[in-house]
Amino acid sequence: MEIKTIGVVGAGQMGNGIAHVMALAGFDVLMTDISQDALDAAVALIDKNLTRQVSREKISQDEKDAAMGRIRTTLTLTDLGPSDLIIEAATERETVKQAIFEDLLPHLKPHTILTSNTSSISITRLATRTDRPEKFMGFHFMNPVPVMQLVELIRGIATDEETYDACLKVVEKIGKTAASAEDFPAFIVNRILMPMINEAVYTLYEGVGNVRSIDESMKLGANHPMGPLELADFIGLDTCLAIMNVLHDGLADTKYRPCPLLTKYVEAGWLGRKTQRGFYDYRGEVPVPTR
């Protein structure tokens, strides 16, 4: 089966990035969100990011114009039904994702493949809430989508080979590399990355180092491009906590226990860059550590 049309559910940080790379690769994209403002902001951001790629001579002006012409938006979720492939990139809450798939079901074509950009939730469990578990899989992009080269493809227990192959071809067409992951909590990247971030928060919580010394140590001592606390702010502390809870609940191992300080920051609404405060305060010209 050849995929030509792609529906993207969610116009946030991940959704707009997915729409960007898909349209640039030649797919017709229909993006939906519950907010018109979010859709307008997403299209404006895609335009801005494509313009940056033109200025850096990564793409031509004609390629940019063609990509923008392939992106449409709608407030009506069910308009995505006729798409060949639907990528759900909504909030990392299982109940939200289940409701989206249930609303879509009556409007899908028989061949439509359903996928989720979830970073940690069970693909097998999400698939059971649909009428096509064999045509359901995880399609996990890294953030920021236009820059990061990896896509995790996660098969649920019922996913068939034809569905996997079709999604693999899409990954290849957008010029990225696929990593095949089994359907266990947090898959590959976040199974390794999130406990490291959580341990960095414990290191802060226990007073072993402050925000700046922890981040500088990992950047200069382990050659990481971004410190773990800075990275947590970039990802979103609520997302980090949600993934740690999935690991802790799904694997029942105390080594995945979320740090109480991470929970406290989320309770305070200090979620990182998106709220202007997290482990750093971003309200001034230069980010300032909050501890």
Which residues are annotated as catalytic?
119, 140, 152, 190
Q: What is the phi-psi region of residue 259: left when phi exceeds 0, alpha when psi lies from -120 to 50, beta otherwise?
A: beta
Residue 155 bridge partners (DSSP): 137, 182
Of 101, 84, 89, give the one whose Cα is nearest residue 141: 89
Give CA–CA dist 76/216, Å, rounded.
46
Give CA–CA dist 233/183, Å, rounded.
26
278: phi then psi, degrees, rounded to nearest 5: -160, -125
CB within 8 Å of 163: residues ≥ 6 apart: 113, 134, 135, 136, 137
Residue 32 bridge partners (DSSP): 9, 74
The token pair at 146 is 């236009």
Exposed (0-12), middle (13-18) or buried (19+): which is 64, by Cβ within 10 Å? buried
The residue type of 259 is: C
Exposure string of 114-153, with b = 16+ CB inside 10 Å and e = fewer, is bbbbbbbbbbbebbebbebbebbbbbbbbbebbeeeebbb
Name the H helices within the chain: 13-24, 36-55, 61-69, 94-104, 123-127, 161-173, 189-205, 211-221, 228-235, 237-251, 260-268
CB within 8 Å of 38: residues ≥ 6 apart: 11, 12
